[in-house]
């Protein structure tokens, strides 16, 4: 059986009030709204808090000639209570600024976070991070890179970045997904995708 099309659209939601509760590094809003119900009625007025963050790009840097990936390690406040470590192994990532497309963001952040120059790219997917309370959307990409000479500490000091770059064999990186050493969604998804597509990429990208 095929997947069903969405029953409703944005037109089936009425927002009557939008209040900013906090506006700092991130923004928090409270919305009062009503939406259509599956049995043909309209929901009573609802109050919902919404975490507001702009779209972001996460890009897996893949060296098809060495069959290796470039990962970055940095402190994450959201992982502060992680019993293993609040320093996570992640993909290069950044927020989409006005006038940028996803490829622009990937190239800018790869240069800032890993001193890397990207080649060809493929889209992996676009997904909602936590739609129960956040509007953040991630655009997940894979990009070709020459990993020779990459490493060291990078990032923008005025943004509080302190980023350690690792070049890791693809098989070892995927084992990190299996064991749970890699424990953030974008990196897990990208490495699982690469596990399925690395052979095709190596052929397409001339490895």
Residue spans of the domains in the chain: they are 10-52, 56-204
Tally of CA atoms within 13 A in the half-sphere of 23 that contains its CB? 4
Tell me what pLDDT residue 207 has.
62
The burial class, CB within 10 Å (0-12 / 13-18 / 19+), for 140 is buried
56-204: CATH topology is Nucleoside Triphosphate Pyrophosphohydrolase (3.90.79)
Q: Considering the entire predicted model, what is its pTM? A: 0.91
Active site residues: 159
Query: Percent of the chain beyond pLDDT 90?
Result: 88
Tell me what pLDDT residue 43 has.
87
Report the number of secondary-structure helices (H) and strands (E) in the chain: 3, 11
Phi-psi region of 157 (alpha: psi -120 to 50; beta: other; left: phi over 0): alpha
């Amino acid at each position: 059986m095929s997947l069903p099309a969405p029953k409703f659209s944005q037109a089936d939601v009425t927002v009557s009030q939008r209040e900013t509760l906090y506006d700092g590094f991130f923004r928090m809003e409270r919305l009062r709204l009503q939406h259509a119900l599956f049995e043909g009625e309209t929901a009573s007025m609802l109050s919902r808090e919404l975490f507001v963050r702009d779209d972001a790009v996460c890009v897996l840097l893949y060296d098809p000639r060495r069959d290796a990936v470039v990962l970055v390690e940095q402190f994450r406040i959201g992982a502060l209570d992680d019993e293993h470590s609040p320093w996570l192994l992640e993909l290069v990532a950044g927020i989409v600024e006005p006038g940028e497309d996803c490829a622009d963001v990937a190239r800018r952040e790869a240069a800032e976070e890993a001193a890397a120059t990207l080649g060809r790219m493929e889209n992996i997917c676009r997904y909602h991070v936590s739609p129960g309370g956040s509007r953040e959307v991630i655009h997940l990409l894979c990009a070709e890179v020459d990993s020779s000479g990459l490493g060291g500490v990078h990032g923008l000091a005025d943004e509080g970045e302190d980023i350690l770059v690792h070049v890791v064999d693809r098989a070892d990186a995927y084992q990190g997904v299996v064991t749970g050493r890699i424990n953030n969604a974008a990196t897990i998804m990208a490495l699982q995708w690469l596990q399925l597509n690395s052979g095709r990429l190596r052929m397409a990208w001339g490895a």
